[in-house]
């Protein structure tokens, strides 16, 4: 999280499957049922997960999404006296998701991730599918275009689509899903709030690692990035903020206002937001390089929290200038913030527009901004590599503090390295911390210290040149720890195997590197 700066975590339903038939010239009826016709392709189901060991059912196989168009109508909870207990607040969301995808294999069926929502209709390339109950034996319904929703105790939330005609490898398809349901306050594998988190006055939408499925049907894994369009309709007087830039002025009719946003940059699903609340927009600022900065602050934030927030947000243009000097050009169309008076207990680097709980401190803003390069432009290929997000953003905040006259990066390293720590602290391998260790402090701080030690080992010139090469090579994509090591070995001419073993994996305090 960019800073999944949850205080304890950081620093310092549905299963639908649609299938599509091969084009009409592809052959006889047996091919339409997934069998091989003479000379024809063999159609198979796309996997119900991308194979990430931390979240085996997140994401899906068999296709790539190029664009999501999300048309959402949201009704926040009604105000009551006395107030409804926060854990019981409910909103209501109705949505139409138009999903443009390309088949990567001959597809008989494919899945989208969807949790806690019901589907009322679904089409593939304009052809309507029928909603059915899952067959008791798990078998497909022969010949029919259908969808079905699955929710179970194994965190398997799938929308399965069986289109007819089937999809051939390389074929484009447009899937339109009409869906909706009551919104709640969903939690992730650690029990922390995430996804579409209903608040008393709207919603905080923060979806790391796989919470986007709580508010739209999605291929919910960083390996399938896409562009996005949003139309979010809310009661007049509410503000809806998403990624990217406004697509025209908000339009009010019949007591409801539609806010439109365009996010044309490739984006991992967990970085999407559509937060709703009583926000006031600050004057638009720009960096020296011309990046527009759009900030939205909850009107209920006041006193010291507001003063801290305003002071921190005022530094964003300078922060962008500084990070551009270290990492290269800012990678997206805009930047900014959503600062909500409600709290999920952490901040998140939602792409172009991080979300902050309660207030936005300077170090956290620097952390979330750095993530736009390190975590957002280049994302982890699997969740075990999250130190490449959090270690980097933490180290970048160290660099900013030094640039802004605060603690030097060396002193921050020393402050972390010197204290005695328990064996359990050192035992966590930050290059494979497990699903319950994704946001452990070691991932952030040992990750940052790893980078500072690496900088000392290879020298400033090589360190920053290799960092820029890492960002250039994997921009709009994903990378692994091995990929990262390879870039730095190429740049330095050194074998860094032992160094990274000591810093990332060894179950003891790093020494002798």
Q: What is the mean pLDDT of residues 137-141?
A: 60
Looking at residue 12, its pLDDT comes to: 32
Specify the higher pLDDT residue, 34 or 209: 209
User: What contacts 458, CB < 8 A, 6 or more positions away?
Assistant: 466, 488, 491, 492, 494
DSSP letter at 270? G
Comparing 145-154, 164-173, 239-248, 418-427, the range with the smallest average pLDDT is: 145-154
Looking at residue 144, its pLDDT comes to: 81
Looking at residue 305, its pLDDT comes to: 98
Looking at residue 41, its pLDDT comes to: 62
pLDDT digits (tens, 9 = 90+) for 434-464: 999 999 999 999 999 999 999 999 999 999 9
Looking at residue 176, its pLDDT comes to: 98
Using pLDDT thresholds of 50, 70 and 90, give the confidence band for residue 140.
low
Range 48-75 burial, b when 16+ CB lie within 10 A, else e: bbbebebbebbbbbbbebeebbbbbbbb
Chain mean pLDDT for the chain: 92
Quote the CA–CA distance of 233 and 204 in Å, as a whole number: 15
Looking at residue 513, its pLDDT comes to: 85
Quote the CA–CA distance of 94 and 69 in Å, as a whole number: 14
Exposure of 262 by Cβ count < 10 A (0-12 exposed, 13-18 middle, 19+ buried)?
middle
Q: Among candidates 352, 375, 337, which has minimal Cα distance to 478?
A: 375
Q: Among candidates 386, 489, 374, 400, which has minimal Cα distance to 446?
A: 386
Retrieve residue 499's tokens. 């160094």
Domains of the chain: 15-34+42-373 (2.60.40.1730), 384-505 (1.10.390.10)
Looking at residue 133, its pLDDT comes to: 76
Looking at residue 155, its pLDDT comes to: 77
Q: What is the pTM of this model?
A: 0.92
With beta carbons less than 8 A apart as the criterion, state whether 100 and 63 touch. no
Using pLDDT thresholds of 50, 70 and 90, give the confidence band for residue 34.
very low
Q: Quick one: CA torsion of 466, 2, 435, 263, rounded to 10 degrees?
A: -90
pLDDT digits (tens, 9 = 90+) for 308-367: 999 999 999 999 999 999 999 999 999 999 999 999 999 999 999 999 999 999 999 999
User: Does residue 214 have a pLDDT over 60?
Assistant: yes
Place of tokens 């640039």: 403
Q: How far apart are the first and last CA of the chain?
A: 29
Looking at residue 170, its pLDDT comes to: 98
Other C-beta atoms lying within 10 Å of the C-beta of residue 102? 14
User: Does residue 7 have a pLDDT over 70?
Assistant: no
Looking at residue 9, its pLDDT comes to: 35
Quote the CA–CA distance of 41 and 52 in Å, as a whole number: 28
DSSP H or E run through 456: helix 441-458
User: Does residue 285 have a pLDDT over 90?
Assistant: yes
Specify the higher pLDDT residue, 27 or 210: 210
């Amino acid at each position: 999280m960019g800073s999944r700066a949850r205080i304890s975590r950081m620093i310092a339903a549905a299963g639908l499957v649609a299938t599509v038939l091969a084009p009409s010239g592809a052959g006889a009826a047996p091919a339409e049922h997934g069998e091989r016709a003479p000379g024809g392709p063999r159609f198979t189901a796309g996997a119900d997960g991308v194979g990430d060991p931390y979240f085996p059912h997140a994401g899906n196989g068999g296709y790539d999404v190029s664009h999501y168009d999300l048309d959402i109508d949201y009704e926040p909870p009604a105000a009551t006296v006395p107030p409804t207990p926060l854990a019981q607040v409910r909103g209501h969301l109705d949505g139409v998701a138009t999903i443009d995808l390309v088949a990567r294999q001959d597809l008989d069926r494919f899945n989208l991730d969807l949790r806690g929502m019901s589907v009322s209709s679904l089409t593939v390339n304009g052809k309507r599918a029928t909603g059915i109950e899952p067959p008791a034996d798990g078998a497909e319904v022969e010949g029919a275009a259908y969808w079905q929703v699955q929710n179970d105790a194994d965190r398997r939330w799938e929308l399965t689509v069986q289109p007819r005609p089937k999809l051939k490898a390389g074929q484009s398809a447009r899937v339109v899903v009409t869906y909706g349901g009551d919104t709640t306050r969903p939690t992730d594998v650690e029990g922390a709030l995430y996804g579409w988190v209903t608040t008393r006055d709207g919603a905080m939408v923060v979806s790391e690692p796989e919470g986007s499925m709580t508010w739209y049907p999605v291929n919910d894994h960083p390996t399938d990035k896409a562009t996005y369009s949003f139309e979010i309709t809310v009661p007049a007087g509410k503000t809806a903020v998403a990624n990217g830039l406004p697509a025209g002025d908000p339009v009010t009719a019949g007591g409801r206002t539609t806010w439109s946003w365009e996010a044309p940059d490739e984006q991992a699903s967990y970085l999407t937001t559509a937060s709703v609340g009583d926000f006031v927009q600050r004057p638009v600022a720009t960096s020296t390089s011309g990046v527009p900065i759009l900030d939205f602050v909850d009107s209920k934030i006041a006193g010291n929290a507001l003063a801290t927030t305003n002071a921190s947000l005022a530094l964003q243009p300078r922060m962008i200038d500084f990070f551009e000097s270290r990492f290269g050009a800012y990678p997206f169309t805009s930047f900014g913030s959503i600062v909500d008076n409600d709290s999920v207990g952490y901040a998140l680097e939602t792409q172009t527009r991080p979300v902050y709980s309660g207030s936005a401190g300077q170090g956290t803003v620097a952390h979330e901004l750095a993530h736009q390069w390190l975590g957002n432009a280049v994302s982890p290929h699997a969740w075990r590599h999250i130190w490449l997000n959090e270690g980097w953003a933490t180290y970048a905040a160290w660099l900013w503090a030094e640039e802004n006259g605060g603690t030097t990066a060396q002193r921050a390293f020393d402050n972390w390295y010197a204290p005695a720590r328990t064996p359990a602290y050192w035992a966590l391998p930050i290059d494979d911390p497990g699903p319950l260790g994704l946001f452990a402090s070691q991932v952030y701080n040992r990750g940052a210290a790893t980078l500072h030690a690496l900088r000392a080992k290879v020298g400033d010139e090589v360190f920053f040149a290799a960092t820029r090469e890492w960002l250039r090579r994997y921009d709009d994509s994903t990378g692994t720890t091995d990929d990262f090591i390879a870039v730095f070995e190429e740049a330095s001419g050194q074998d860094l195997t032992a160094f990274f073993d000591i810093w990332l994996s060894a179950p003891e305090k790093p020494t002798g590197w």
